[in-house]
Amino acid sequence: MIFFWAKAARKARLVLALFLVASIPVQANSQGGSDSAHVDFFPVNVLDTGIADTFTNFLTALDETSLFAVKDSQATSYRLIWFRPGLMPVAVRIAVQKNGLGDLEAKVVSQHAKVINKKKLILDKNTGLAIDRTALIPADKVGILLELVQQSDFWSLGPEEPDSALLDGPMCVLEGIRDGKYHVVYRYSPKASNFTHVAKYLAKDLAQLDDSIISIP
């Protein structure tokens, strides 16, 4: 019975998440843009299909690149995607340079965003993002992030863990690439842990997003 309710709750959360993003008012494409080609953001059969579809829609709406599709074996990059019902999706991505510096970009979908293409969730560029922030991160702060990743055992964590039956908790995905390998971890309503320390450092210390946008234990 507990498994049934947890499974039903997960489905309800995913439907709600997709509805909240897909129901943003549609606006005609005044930018002259065109639909982008299909992009695979996650490996097949690693995440639950509903979860993969939900976060694919988020990343598409945010006009994010696919870390899974990166072919450079020398690339090191991490991305946090965080969503909680009532708030809009957040993505924070950092790419580590060979000199140790980090190129960071933080994006937050505006609650007033208009969608040009509802199926692909292509947002109007003038209203789509409440925040689109870039920063060059010093090597010492990048080093702290990499140490937190190591302490969290991120590269050994399973992609998913059993959900609770709660409906209103945050949905979190953390992705990484290094040494030609890709890894993704999804957690629903994560409690404070070494894993959330990574997410919190990315969102708070590096991207400097306040609690009205994202609150991480």
Residue 180: left (phi > 0), alpha (psi -120 to 50), or beta?
left
Local mean pLDDT, 10-residue blocks, the chain (217 residues): 48 50 38 55 92 86 91 97 80 97 91 46 54 95 98 96 66 96 94 96 96 88
Q: What is the DSSP string of 94-130?
A: EEE-TTS-EEEEEEEE-TT--EEETTTTEEPTTTSEE
Q: How far apart are CA 91 and CA 109, in angstroms?
A: 9
Which pair of tokens denotes residue 65?
A: 């690149």
Q: What is the pTM of this model?
A: 0.80
- Cβ proximity of 18 and 54 under 8 Å: yes
| Local structure of residue 41 (DSSP, 8 states) | -
Quick one: 162 exposed, middle or buried, by C-beta within 10 A (0-12, 13-18, 19+)? exposed
Which pLDDT score is estimated for 53?
A: 87
Which pLDDT score is estimated for 118?
A: 41
Domain boundaries in the chain?
A: 2-28+39-206
Which pLDDT score is estimated for 122?
A: 46
Q: How far apart are CA 140 and CA 166, in angstroms?
A: 38
In a 3-state reduction of DSSP, which class is residue 18? helix
Question: What are residue 165's phi and psi, to 5 degrees?
Answer: -90, 5
**Of 59, 68, 47, residue with least CA distance to 17:** 59
Q: How far apart are CA 30 and CA 181, in angstroms?
A: 39
Which pLDDT score is estimated for 157?
A: 96
| Packing angle of the helix pair 49-61, 2-22 (nearest 10 deg) | 20
Which pLDDT score is estimated for 7?
A: 54
Strand partners, 146: none
Which pLDDT score is estimated for 116?
A: 37
- Cβ proximity of 197 and 148 under 8 Å: yes
